[in-house]
Amino acid sequence: MDIGILSNRYAKALMEYAKDTGKEDVLYGEVSVLAHNLAAFPDLKEALGNPVLTIRDKYALLCTAAVGSDNVSREFSRFITLVLKNHREEILQFMCMSFMAMYREYEHIGMAKLITAVPVDRNTEERIRRAAGVVLHLKMELETVVDPAIEGGFIFDYNWMRLDASVASQLKRVKQQFIDKNRRIV
């Protein structure tokens, strides 16, 4: 079984169904939260693989992981039911990631990550998101991460590109320059 092919087929079917019903935005929100929870909580994936749990229990678990105590959309409910009936819950996270990638491509959304040494306020985060969106000609989703190890400045990741303006990287470059210069002298 090729996980990539299966997950893409399910994600493509879900995307087409979402377009037909006009609920792609709602589904994207639910699938995004579910994908995050599947990645963040390994016990959730373990529970889905448990043969003792019934399909109804797994369904309730996935709905709770996607929206909490709120009601899931009809489209999400039908998708989860299909996945569980076909016993494909072990690749559900891959399906979610494939659907999210398809949705972002369809809606021209770019994903970026901003790493800073201290938390960034909402206003600054919004300005960075808008500026990146203008430069890249995309709507941007910005994930912010606080990493004190960079000591100051920021690191901006988009796809396979990285803008590293962190103090830690600049100090490493200066250190490397001194090392290289001293090697030439000796």
133-149 confidence digits (pLDDT tens) = 888 888 998 899 999 99
State the pLDDT at residue 15.
Answer: 94
Q: Are residues 8 and 96 in the same domain?
A: yes
Q: State pLDDT tens for residues 4-28.
A: 888 999 999 999 999 999 999 999 9
Residue 130 shares a structural domain with residue 88: no
Pair 65, 34: CB distance under 8 Å? yes
Of 89, 105, 121, the residue that ends a domain is 105
Instruction: Give yes or no: residues 41 and 125 share one domain.
Output: no
- Interhelix angle 3-21/92-107, nearest 10 degrees: 50
Task: Report the DSSP pairing between strands 139-146 and 109-116.
Answer: parallel
Do residues 124 and 155 both lie within one domain?
yes
Of 105, 123, 153, the domain-final residue? 105
Mean pLDDT computed over every residue of the chain? 90
Number of domains the chain contains: 2
| pLDDT over threshold 70, residue 1 | no
pLDDT confidence band for 186 (50 / 70 / 90): low
Predicted pLDDT of residue 57:
93
pLDDT at 102 over 70: yes
Does residue 59 sit in the same domain as residue 21? yes
- Looking at the structure, tell me whether residues 101 and 136 fall in a common domain: no
Q: Catalogue the long-range contacts made by 178-186 (C-beta closer than 8 Å, 24 or more residues apart).
A: none
Is residue 101 located within the same domain as residue 112? no
Cα 156 to chain centroid distance, Å, stands at 16
The band of 179, judged by pLDDT with boundaries at 50, 70 and 90, is: confident
Q: Which residue, of 66, 83, 105, is where some domain finishes? A: 105
Distant-in-sequence, close-in-space partners of 140: CB < 8 Å, separation ≥ 6 = 109, 110, 111, 112, 129, 130, 132, 133
Residues 79 and 126 in one domain: no
Confidence of residue 168 (pLDDT cuts 50, 70, 90): confident
Whether 62 and 139 share a structural domain: no
Pair (50, 92) in one structural domain: yes
Look up the domain containing 89 and give its range: 3-105
pTM for this prediction? 0.79
What mean pLDDT is predicted for residues 99-109? 93
Structure token pair of residue 91:
């690749």
